[in-house]
Structure formats: C-alpha cells, structure tokens
C-alpha cells in the first residue's frame, strides 16, 4: 500500500512508538505494531491496535497525572 504522506514509499509491517496525552498524563507506548513507510517513516496502526491503545491510555490516565513508558502488549 502506498504511503498517504509521501506518496512514494510503501507501508510495510513493523513497529512504532505512540505518544498519547490526556490532561497532565503523558503515556509513551513502545514497539506498537504498525504499518510503517519504507521511505519517510510515517506509521499508522490498524483499528484494533488503536482501540487497545486508547483503552490502555484511559486506564493509565485514571491513575493520576504522571509520565509512563510502556511496552505494547496485545
């Protein structure tokens, strides 16, 4: 699939880092499964991964303001 950002690269299965913020909480997920452009590095996750990240972020944000670095686990 062509990259929607640079339009020259191709998206391939890989991993990325996703940073989410909610209020005063910052959560960084590492090694998230994604489709990554082989030219520009643009990355996107599929719907299931995105929903799971949002669920995990909501759970982490409920613990109160902080910074967290979390390895992604499906």
Residue 44's DSSP bridge partners are 35
Taking the CA of residue 15 as centre, how many other CA atoms within 13 Å lie in the half-sphere pointing to its CB?
Answer: 9
pLDDT in tens, 11-32: 999 999 999 987 788 899 999 9
pLDDT in tens, 30-71: 999 999 999 999 999 999 999 999 999 888 888 888 787 877
- CA nearest to 22, candidates 61, 70, 50, 63: 61
**CB distance 43 to 17 below 8 Å:** no
pTM of the complete model? 0.83
Q: Please, is 14 exposed, middle or buried when counting C-beta atoms within 10 Å of its C-beta (0-12, 13-18, 19+)?
A: middle
């Amino acid at each position: 699939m062509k990259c929607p950002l640079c339009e020259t690269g191709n998206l391939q299965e890989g991993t990325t880092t996703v940073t989410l913020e909610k209020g005063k909480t910052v959560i960084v997920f590492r090694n998230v499964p994604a489709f990554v452009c082989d030219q520009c590095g643009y990355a996107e996750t599929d719907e299931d991964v995105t929903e799971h990240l949002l669920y995990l972020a909501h759970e982490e944000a409920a613990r109160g303001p902080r910074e967290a670095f979390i390895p992604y686990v499906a």
